Structure 1
Amino acid sequence: MDHDLAGDDAPDRRQRLDPAEFIKANMRLVPAPALPEIRFYTAHPSSGLRRLVEPEGDAEDAPEPQPPYWAYAWAGGTVLARYVLDHPTTVGGRRVLDLGAGSGIVGIAAAKAGAREVIAAEIDRNGVAALGLNAKDNGVTISVICKDITTGPPPAVDLVLAGDVFYGPDVTQRMIPFLDRCLAAGVEVLIGDPRRADLPLSRLRLLAEYQVPDFGDAKGAASRPSGVFSFEAETPLATRSDRLLDPR
């Protein structure tokens, strides 16, 4: 048993955990993989991250914990950040939204590359805390929206950067209508992804590929190519292609 959770007062102790203080005390501030320009707080085997992400208290209505996506570097976000740093005109002078920001690596890259304003959308309060620490350590300013914005209209931005947002069918079904609303509002959308199963390839145009590690890969495994894509408006051809692939 984790000694930090032993004893009758463990729920009270969990309630007193401050995300930012926990992250600073227990996680490592290191260069992001393939992004030596950016440092971020990441988990390690002895970080005790479970103490931070478990539900607070024992109440039946306690919210389900969010997986700590923000504690690791994912391939889609990594390649998107790399692309922005390598092509600063992509974001220069523009208002940028880092969608599903996690640790904020993509938004930090945009700010470093000259974005006029960076907004990060992240629903996990622990992720918001990590994002704030990471932004401060990298010397950039990022505004945070701590709620799910995919059900409404896009914020007033020029560009959406979305890394690793197609990681399952449910989130994909929510994400595509939101990104379509972004396009309809004149907002450009760039996607970073290692070609996961739910990636809507018929809507994407490849801009660049990078060999980077992904979270969950076995230690020492060879890096796979991950892509940066432009999300394109649906066309009759794309619609027909989707139907041809639909077994129904």
Structure 2
Amino acid sequence: MPNELRTLHPGTTTLSDTAFVQEETRLTLVPFVPEVSLHMADDAIALWEATESARDEIGLPPPFWAFAWAGGVAVARYVLDHPGLVEGRTVLDLAAGSGLVGIAAVLAGARSVRAAEIDAYAVAAIGINAEANGVRVDAAVEDLLDGDGGPAEVVLAGDVFYERAMAARFLPFLERAQARGARVIVGDPGRAYLPRERFTALAAYEVPVVADLEDTALKTTTVWQLTPAFSQVG
């Protein structure tokens, strides 16, 4: 789950961010996507408290980057099973979190992958995770939502419609990306603010998740493709 509307020390990641991620997580195979290993946390609350202590700040957003969320897992699985989606293409992993989706895209043959996040810890985690999987993902602390994701030919996002305010920014961004010719793929585990009428379902999976985060051990998760608005058709 990403946190594009949160503010958490914008800028470049630092060596201390990288050290923190390494100290607070352990490298683990991703359930349902065993081709990928990620540095993940065992305890969400303990890690959240650790981030606040490290930043000497209360009320920081949860450490979304330390877990494999259902939406991202589903997109990663779909990309690995359908490499033609990204093979030889430039890819944007939006609100990338741990970098799972971007790593899967590289493994599936993407020419290049750019990962965007606004959390410096997430960008540090993406770098560590990409190295652990022997791939290159160009990650940066940046908010792209006022643009169109260019020049990426494929825009991938996992679980970005879980808040009304987020949906209000993400959908226009994704529509602009599509309007300039990008293929837009989103993973969603039944969040309330996904505008389903704007998407076409490509696949559905029963994704194993962290029960403490989702209140269930399995989450039915759909991979969606943004369909052209009527105004963009013919």
1:208 maps to: 203
1:148 maps to: 143
1:32 aligned onto 2:30: yes
Matches within 5 A, 1:186-201: 186-201=181-196
Matches within 5 A, 1:168-187: 168-187=163-182
Matches within 5 A, 1:15-30: 18-30=16-28
Counterpart of 1:185, as a letter, is: R
Q: Which runs of 5+ in 1 are unaligned?
A: 1-15, 237-248
Matched-pair contact (CA < 8 Å) for 1:26–1:48: no
Q: What is the rounded CA distance, in whole Å, between the counterparts of 1:47 and 1:153 in structure 2? A: 35
Matched-pair contact (CA < 8 Å) for 2:148–2:174: no
Shift in Å at residue 74 of structure 1? 0.7
1:229 aligned onto 2:228: no
Matched-pair contact (CA < 8 Å) for 1:17–1:52: no
- Cα 1:45–1:67 change in 2 (3 A) is closer
Shift in Å at residue 222 of structure 1? 4.8
1:134 maps to: 129
Deviating 4+ runs (over 4 angstroms): none
Q: What is the rounded CA distance, in whole Å, between the counterparts of 1:234 and 1:204 in structure 2? A: 10
Partner residue of 1:95 out of 90, 94, 101: 90
Shift in Å at residue 45 of structure 1? 3.1
2:10 maps to: none
- Cα 1:91–1:17 change in 2 (3 A) is closer
Task: Give the TM-score of the pair, scaled to structure 1.
Answer: 0.81
Matches within 5 A, 1:7-156: 18-45=16-43, 48-49=46-47, 50-54=49-53, 56-57=55-56, 65-156=60-151
Q: What is the rounded CA distance, in whole Å, between the counterparts of 2:55 and 2:142 in structure 1? A: 19
Counterpart of 2:174, as a letter, is: L
- Cα 1:161–1:46 change in 2 (3 A) is closer
Counterpart of 1:82, as a letter, is: R
Counterpart of 1:23, as a letter, is: V
Q: Which one has more relative contact order, counting CA pairs under 8 Å at least 6 apart?
A: 2
Residue aligned with 1:18, SS? helix
Count of matched residue pairs: 215
Counterpart of 1:39, as a letter, is: S
Post-superposition Cα deviations, 1:190-234, rounded to whole Å, max 9, x if no partner, equal 01011211011000100011110234234xx45232111101122
Shift in Å at residue 47 of structure 1? 9.1
Task: Give the TM-score of the pair, scaled to structure 2.
Answer: 0.85
Shift in Å at residue 46 of structure 1? 9.2
Post-superposition Cα deviations, 1:49-78, rounded to whole Å, max 9, x if no partner, equal 2222457346xxx9x623211111111000
User: Alpha carbon RMSD of aligned pairs, Å?
Assistant: 2.1
Shift in Å at residue 152 of structure 1? 2.1
Counterpart of 1:19, as a letter, is: D
Counterpart of 2:50, as a letter, is: R
Matched-pair contact (CA < 8 Å) for 1:55–1:65: no
Matched-pair contact (CA < 8 Å) for 2:149–2:155: no
Residue aligned with 2:214, SS? coil
- Cα 1:145–1:24 change in 2 (3 A) is closer
> Which structure has the larger Rg?
1
Post-superposition Cα deviations, 1:9-62, rounded to whole Å, max 9, x if no partner, equal xxxxxxx9912112212311100121111000111139942222457346xxx9
Q: What is the rounded CA distance, in whole Å, between the counterparts of 1:47 and 1:202 in structure 2? A: 36
Q: What is the rounded CA distance, in whole Å, between the counterparts of 1:224 and 1:65 in structure 2? A: 26
